[in-house]
Every structure is written in C-alpha cells, then in structure tokens.
Amino acid sequence: MNQRYYTVLTQKGIALLDNATSLGVPLKITQMAVGDGNGNITTPDATQTELVHEVRRAAIDKLFLDNENPCQIIAEQVIPETDGGWFIHEIGLFDDKDNLIAVGNYPATYKPNCLEDSSRTQVIRMKFIVDNTEAIELKNETIEVFAARQYIEPRADATQTAATQKYVNDTITAKITAHEKSTNHPNATTSDKGFVQLNSAINSKLETQAATPRAVKKVYDKTVKRAGDTMTGQLTLSSKGLKINNDNNDSMTLMTSSDRYSHVFYDAKTNRSERKLDYDS
C-alpha cells in the first residue's frame, strides 16, 4: 500500500481554534518545525503535542492566500543551506505560545548543509483549506484565525525541495507593476493631468499639445515685430475702435463709423478727449 502524506489538526489546535472562535481572540500561528521522525516516516496523530524528533524550528517566512484557490492558505519556511545534515520525515505548525497546532508527515527528504557537496536552500510548504476566509487575517507575516470556524482541513505540500521560483517571480512582478503605475501616465487633456507633447506649429487646433518657445516667437514675429514696424505703448481693440495707450495714461483712438473716421486724443491730466482729425467722404 502506498504511503499517504497528510496533515491533521491536533487536539490542542482544535481547542485553541474553538476558543478563538468563541472569544474572538486571534490564534497566531508563527512557527514551523521539521523533524526526522527518529529515522522513520511518521503517522500524524491528533494527540501529539510535539514532533517525534524535532531537528529544526523557526519562524514562518511567508503566509498568503492561494491565488488559484481563495479558500486555501499557504505557509512556507525557507531552510538555508547552512542548516541540514538530517532527513525530513515530519512537519508541524506552532502558535506564538509553542502549542503544536497541526502536524503532518513528509516524504523522506535529505537536507544537506553547506559543508556537504550537495548543499542547497530548501522550502517547506504546508497548505490549509479553510471554509470561511472571512475568519482569517494575514497580519505582520503571521496568520490569525478567529471568528466563526466551521471546518478546517490542513494539507501538506511535500513537493517543494528548493526555493520557490514562483515566489521570486511574483515579488519581481509586483515591484515592476508598482513602478509602471508610478511612471506610465496618460496624455494630458484640457480636463485631465498627464504627459504633454510639445509642438512648434502655429496653426494647430490640437488641445493635447503645448506650444514651444519657437511657436511663440513665430506668432510674435508675425503679429507684432515685423520688419520696418515701430510700436510704442499698448495697443488695444475695443468697440470704440483701435486705441493706443501711452505710458502717461494718455491715449489716441482711431474711431470709425460707416464711411467716416476720426482720431480722438485723450489727455489724462485734464480728463478730456479732443478730436484731432475727422474725415468724411
């Protein structure tokens, strides 16, 4: 008969989960341990309070929801190449008070250390299928299980024997996506902010591009500073006609009406206007 590999909640773990449900006090699962089972693959027992023969215990490195199964929580621990020299036959999860919450067996896997020719980093992964994801909170890289718990089935994934490439790729992808969002802005419009393209044309009707200094100079050369022209004061065009304002507030206005026109001079000191030239056809 083929060997079965699985994980069970311990009696202590079930009691603590029930207590967390009734009192609303989170149960924090913070550590994972591996053991060699005294040289044998073990059979998980709900009455266990410790592993058969623990060889290493450390903090859980990563706790997250499975993207492919929103009801499944994955716990991972990375064993560095400096640790090893023993077989892994059993695994367990502990809370922040060193209570064994779940225990499982593991396919016989030898973990070498850096003093051996085949040293490697290894990832141990355990999966928990939870019927109510609202009862779970991921916080500070620990898992807090609380609120209503109908049923929890922990499972072990014993296929990981090296650092997970998926974890590395997901981390890199997340960083790249965040960077792209910070730099990939849309084009600006008259109502929305964004990147603006420059344009030196002076006859364009586009509202998504900005004029360059060259375009401004073209307009200036065509409308104000043509060769041979001399202009002083401020030139304005109003309903009364064409008006030239001098620096001393005097002004000269060319007023037209039908086929006649006149030049009217305004003296700012006396606040009086006087016609200087009238023409009538």
Q: Residue 28: its pLDDT value, please?
A: 82
More confident residue, 106 or 277: 106
Question: What is the C-alpha to C-alpha distance for residues 107 and 156, in angstroms, rounded to an integer?
Answer: 10
Q: What's the pLDDT at 136?
A: 45
User: Quick check: 1 pLDDT over 60?
Assistant: no
Percentage of the residues of the chain whose pLDDT score is greater than 70: 71
Nearest to 109 by CA among 72, 79, 82: 79
* Higher pLDDT among residues 166 and 134, named by residue: 166
pLDDT at 148: 34
Mean pLDDT of 106-129: 83
Residue 153 pLDDT: 39
Taking 90 as the threshold, does the pLDDT of residue 52 lie above it?
yes
Other beta carbons within 10 angstroms of residue 102's beta carbon come to 27
Q: How far is CA 203 from CA 1, 23, 89, 116, 226, in A?
A: 85, 74, 79, 76, 19
- Asked if the model's pLDDT at residue 206 lies above 70, the reply is yes
What is the per-residue pLDDT across 143-169, written as a single tens digit (0 to 9) for each?
444 433 333 334 444 444 444 555 566
Provide the pLDDT for residue 59. Answer: 92
Report pLDDT for 37.
95
pLDDT digits (tens, 9 = 90+) for 63-73: 777 788 877 77
Which two tokens mark 184? Answer: 């990939």
Are residues 267 and 274 in contact, defined by beta-carbon separation less than 8 angstroms? yes
**Stretch 29-52: mean pLDDT:** 93
pLDDT of residue 49: 96
Interval 110-124 mean pLDDT: 83
pLDDT value of position 14: 80
Which is more confidently placed, 79 or 224?
Answer: 79
Question: What pLDDT, on the 0 to 100 scale, is given for residue 180?
Answer: 66
First to last CA, the chain: 122
Per-residue pLDDT, averaged over 29-45, amounts to 93
For residue 130, name the pLDDT band (cuts at 50, 70, 90): low
Eight-class DSSP state of 195: B
Neighbours of 214 (CB within 10 A): 12
Separation CA 188–CA 208 (nearest Å)? 6
Q: Give the pLDDT mean for 250-262.
A: 75
How large is the average pLDDT for residues 103-108? 90
Q: Is the pLDDT of residue 9 over 60?
A: yes
- So what's the pLDDT on residue 239? 61
Q: What is the pLDDT of residue 146?
A: 43
Q: What is the mean pLDDT of the chain?
A: 75
